[in-house]
Structure 1
Amino acid sequence: MSAFDWQRMLLGDFPFLFLGEVAFRAAFAFLVVFVFLKVSGRRGIRQLSLFELVVILTLGSAAGDVSFYEDVPLLPVAMVFVTLLVLYRATVLTMSHSERFSNWMEGKPVTIIKDGLYELNSLDYMNISSDEFFMELRQQGVEHLGQVRLGILETDGDVSLYFYSAEAVKPGLSVLPSEHRTDYQHVPVTAVYACTRCGHTQLMERQQQAACPRCEQVIWSRTLHHPRTR
């Protein structure tokens, strides 16, 4: 074996015409995945449910293997496609007739914000930190929790938000990044502060240290109170 053997590095033992077979296999794999998505009834991907993600990953693995492995025949991949399509259709049909089965497969929407406060039971149950939602909230124009009347985590991973009117907005926990928000154990001035874990707000005196009565957290942040601008 010699160094920088371009035949070995680029094609190995395969003839040059094998590149044409790879192109054909890749086109076949692309067609299989595309047809599956069309036949399954999906109009787009955006957010996949857990069940749909498993189906796509399984199909993608089979399609990837057939694209460039010369010892993987095409018909077994076509059988994988047919089997997954049947399973997908059967599962969707069962889900449409059984709410219990549907909830087991894809879960249920979960309330994560209510009346400007994080729902601690939901966050603990989902094993999710409140910080994970800060970016999503900011992207939807939220600057603090006092602007949000209700927040629901949908089964596809999206967060649906329902807002207070400008007149009903109340002081709330800032969702801005740490460089734009200061947290305290001993608050520097008398003002309304928010618990950084659950969003509970209360008036605190200068240099006061307190545990949140809702979640027992001891870190506080100065609340914001202005309405949304968009």
Structure 2
Amino acid sequence: MKKEAIKLSDIKRILIGEAPFEFLLEVLLRTGIIYCVLLLTVRLLGKRMSGQLTITELAVMILMGAIVSAPMELPERGIMQGFAILILILLLHQGVTWLEVKFKKVELVTQGIPKMLVADGVIQTAVLAHVQISKDQLFAVLRGQAIYNLGKVKRVYLETCGKFTIYKFKASKAGLSVLPPEEGRDNTMQQVKEGNESCSVCGYTREVKEAVASCPNCFNNSWEWAIL
């Protein structure tokens, strides 16, 4: 479109565009057909597409958004092109899934492996940095599971689909508080464990009488009282 043809007073162009008014009815028909085909395609892709998405499934969802827009909106494009591409995406996805089942290396390349973020109440700082998750994000997940200190956490895994899996100790143990700093240490959800302190970076907990100044896990020198 030429620059001279663009006018703010051209309400018809702004609301309807260059296509004739009748094309609006065609858009409704196209959208209905594409919507039904898209539902069928997602159904054939498998139940995981409606749950937690893996990397390959997320890629498929992004592609489908781009695929269906043109056949619905552009008058010079037929909907059969959209059908053909959706079928191709379905075949590609099924092929990759079959390869993942047959060959472990393919699954490792496409999906990756779960990462352990917390082990026995101690944050694995190197892993946390590798997966690009902040300590605040991890603490938010733990608070959502009614966990108020790291001492209660046996393991935290980041699954390949992005979901967190948490295992707890049965008995209460002292550890680093996961509550926001402004919450303070005088609330009813936690109490100070006398004689124990936790590394403020990774949560490693020790007795105060230990002579070593730095944390043996992350070599940090900042400590705070352990919380029950």
TM-score interval, normalised by the smaller of the two chains: 0.7 to 0.9
Separation of aligned partners in 1, 2:119 and 2:216:
17
**Partner SS, residue 227 of structure 2:** coil
The secondary structure found in structure 1 opposite 2:17 is coil
Tell me, in whole angstroms, the C-alpha distance in 1 between the residues paired with 2:65 and 2:18: 26
- Alignment of 1:145 with 2:153, yes or no, is no
| Match for residue 109 of structure 2 among 104, 122, 127 | 104
Q: Which moved more, 1:138-147 or 1:213-222?
A: 213-222
Residue 197 (str. 1) matches residue 175 (str. 2) = no
Aligned position for 1:228: none
Q: How big is the shift at 1:13?
A: 2.5
Partner of 1:216: 219
Shift of 1:212: 2.1
Deviation of 1:48 (Å) = 0.8
Aligned residues: 214
TM-score (norm 1): 0.83
Identity over aligned residues, as a percent?
28
Whole-angstrom distance in 2 between the partners of 1:32 and 1:88: 16
SS at match of 2:47: coil
In the alignment, which of 113, 119, 124 is matched to residue 114 of structure 1? 119
User: Which residue in the other structure is 1:21 paired with?
Assistant: 26
Give ranges in structure 1 of 5+ residues lacking alignment: 183-189, 226-230
The structure-2 alpha-carbon separation of the partners of 1:197 and 1:91, relative to structure 1 and needing over 3 Å to count, comes to same
Secondary structure of the residue that 1:161 maps to in structure 2? strand
* Shift in Å, 1:33: 2.2
**Which of 50, 60, 66 is matched with 2:55 structurally?**
50
The letter for the 2-side match of 1:56 is M
Equivalence map 1:45-194=2 (5 Å): 45-165=50-170, 168-181=171-184, 191-194=195-198
> How big is the alpha-carbon RMSD for the aligned residues of Structure 1 and Structure 2?
2.4
Distance (Å, rounded) in 2 between the aligned partners of 1:111 and 1:209: 27
Give the Cα–Cα distance (whole angstroms) in 1 for the partners of residues 66 and 8 of structure 2: 33
Paired residue type of 2:197: Y
Question: 1:170-190: per-residue Cα shift (whole Å, max 9, x none)?
Answer: 1111111232258xxxxxxx7
Q: Do the aligned partners of 1:171 and 1:223 also contact (CA within 8 Å) in 2?
A: yes
Distance 1:220 1:181, change over 3 A: farther
Distance in structure 2 (CA, Å) of the matches to 1:71 and 1:63: 14
Indicate the structure with greater helix content.
2
Moved >6 Å (runs of 4+) = none
- Residue 20 of structure 1 aligns to a residue whose secondary structure is helix
Please report how far the alpha carbon of residue 3 of structure 1 lies from its aligned counterpart in structure 2 after TM superposition: 4.3
Distance 1:181 1:92, change over 3 A: farther
Post-superposition CA distance 1:58-110 (Å, at most 9, x none): 11111122222222221111111111111111111111111121111101111
Q: Judge conservation of contact 1:151–1:162 (CA < 8 Å) in 2.
A: yes
- Where does the alignment leave 5 or more consecutive residues of structure 2 unmatched? 186-193
